[in-house]
A and B are shown apart, each in its own frame.
Chain A
Amino acid sequence: MSEFTGIRGRAWFKALTGQESSIQGDPPSVLTTDALIGDDKGRFLCVVPDPGGRFPCARRGEVGLEEAYTLAARVREVTNADKDGKKRPIIAIVDLKSQAYGRREEIAGIHLAAAAAADAYATARFAGHPIVALIVGQAISGGFLTHGYQANRLLAFDDDGVLIHAMHKEAAARVTRRTVAQLDKLAETVPPLSYDVRDYAKLGLLYKLLQVANPQNPGASDISLVRGELIAAIQDARKGSRDLRTRLDSEGARSARKASRLARARLEEQWKEQAFTTASSY
Chain B
Amino acid sequence: MSDTSFSREYLQRRSFIELSARDRAKCLFDSGTERELAGSFDRIESPWLPMQDVTPQADDGCIVMRGTIKGRQAVVIAIAGAFQGGSIGEVSGAKLTAALDLACLDNEKGIPTSAVLLLETGGVRLQEANLGLAAVAEIISSIVALRQHAPVIAVIAGTVGCFGGMSMAAGVSSYVVMTREGRLGLNGPEVIEQESGVEEFDASDRTLIWSIAGGQQRYDQGLSDVLVDDDADKMAKTIQELIAKGVPAVHRSEQVDLYRSRVAALDPSRQWDPEELHSWASKKKEKNL
A66 is an interface residue with CB less than 8 A from chain B: yes
A136 is an interface residue with CB less than 8 A from chain B: no
B144 is an interface residue with CB less than 8 A from chain A: yes
A141 B133 Cβ-Cβ under 8 A: yes
A119 B133 Cβ-Cβ under 8 A: no
Chain A residues with CB below 8 A from B60, complex form: 263
A266 B42 Cβ-Cβ under 8 A: yes
**B-side interface residues, number (CB < 8 Å):** 85
In the assembly, what is the distance between CA of A56 and CA of B52, in Å? 38
In the assembly, what is the distance between CA of A167 and CA of B134, in Å? 13
9-residue interface stretch from A14-22, A110-118, A217-225, A231-239: A110-118
Q: Annotate A91-117 by CB proximity to B: 1 below 8 A, 0 otherwise.
A: 000000011011111111111111110
B137 A166 Cβ-Cβ under 8 A: no
A172 B137 Cβ-Cβ under 8 A: no
A76 is an interface residue with CB less than 8 A from chain B: yes
A105 B186 Cβ-Cβ under 8 A: yes
B52 A190 Cβ-Cβ under 8 A: yes
* Given A69-B256, A145-B133, A262-B44, A112-B212 contact (CB < 8 Å): no
* Given A114-B168, A122-B140, A142-B186 contact (CB < 8 Å): yes
A101 B196 Cβ-Cβ under 8 A: yes
In the assembly, what is the distance between CA of A248 and CA of B195, in Å? 33
B254 A119 Cβ-Cβ under 8 A: yes
B47 A57 Cβ-Cβ under 8 A: no
How close is A157's CB to chain B, nearest CB, in angstroms?
17
Chain B residues with CB below 8 A from A164, complex form: 130
B165 A113 Cβ-Cβ under 8 A: no
B263 is an interface residue with CB less than 8 A from chain A: yes
A119 B186 Cβ-Cβ under 8 A: no
A200 is an interface residue with CB less than 8 A from chain B: yes
B184 A111 Cβ-Cβ under 8 A: yes
Chain A residues with CB below 8 A from B257, complex form: 73
How close is A144's CB to chain B, nearest CB, in angstroms?
7
A132 is an interface residue with CB less than 8 A from chain B: no
A111 B168 Cβ-Cβ under 8 A: yes
A145 B140 Cβ-Cβ under 8 A: yes
* Given A107-B212, A111-B167, A65-B263 contact (CB < 8 Å): yes
Chain B residues with CB below 8 A from A110, complex form: 185-187
What interface size band does chain A fall in?
Answer: 35 or more
B252 A112 Cβ-Cβ under 8 A: yes
A176 is an interface residue with CB less than 8 A from chain B: yes
A263 B95 Cβ-Cβ under 8 A: yes
How close is B196's CB to chain A, nearest CB, in angstroms?
5
Chain B residues with CB below 8 A from A66, complex form: 263-264
A212 is an interface residue with CB less than 8 A from chain B: no
In the assembly, what is the distance between CA of A7 and CA of B28, in Å? 51
Q: Which of A203-262 contact B (CB under 8 A)?
A: 203, 205, 243-244, 247-248, 256-262
A192 B137 Cβ-Cβ under 8 A: no
A192 B130 Cβ-Cβ under 8 A: yes
Chain B residues with CB below 8 A from A274, complex form: 35, 37, 66
B27 is an interface residue with CB less than 8 A from chain A: no
B138 is an interface residue with CB less than 8 A from chain A: yes
A171 is an interface residue with CB less than 8 A from chain B: yes
Chain A residues with CB below 8 A from B185, complex form: 106, 110-111
A259 B90 Cβ-Cβ under 8 A: yes
B145 A243 Cβ-Cβ under 8 A: yes
In the assembly, what is the distance between CA of A96 and CA of B54, in Å? 32
A120 is an interface residue with CB less than 8 A from chain B: yes
Q: Which of B232-289 contact A (CB under 8 A)?
A: 251-257, 259-260, 262-264, 266, 268, 271-272, 274, 277
A271 B37 Cβ-Cβ under 8 A: yes
In the assembly, what is the distance between CA of A248 and CA of B137, in Å? 12
A116 B171 Cβ-Cβ under 8 A: yes
A145 B165 Cβ-Cβ under 8 A: yes
In the assembly, what is the distance between CA of A212 and CA of B21, in Å? 48
A155 is an interface residue with CB less than 8 A from chain B: no
- 20 residue pairs A–B, Cβ–Cβ below 8 Å: A70-B260, A73-B256, A101-B192, A104-B266, A105-B186, A106-B187, A106-B213, A107-B274, A109-B259, A123-B254, A146-B168, A165-B129, A166-B130, A189-B51, A190-B127, A192-B90, A192-B129, A192-B130, A257-B94, A263-B95
Chain B interfacial positions (CB closer than 8 Å to A): 35, 37-38, 42, 44-48, 51-52, 60, 64, 66, 90-91, 93-95, 97-99, 101-102, 124, 126-138, 140-142, 144-145, 164-165, 167-172, 184-187, 191-192, 194-196, 200-201, 212-213, 218, 221, 223, 251-257, 259-260, 262-264, 266, 268, 271-272, 274, 277
New A-B contacts (7) at CB < 8 Å, excluding given A175-B126, A266-B37: A99-B187, A112-B171, A113-B259, A120-B256, A142-B186, A164-B130, A260-B90
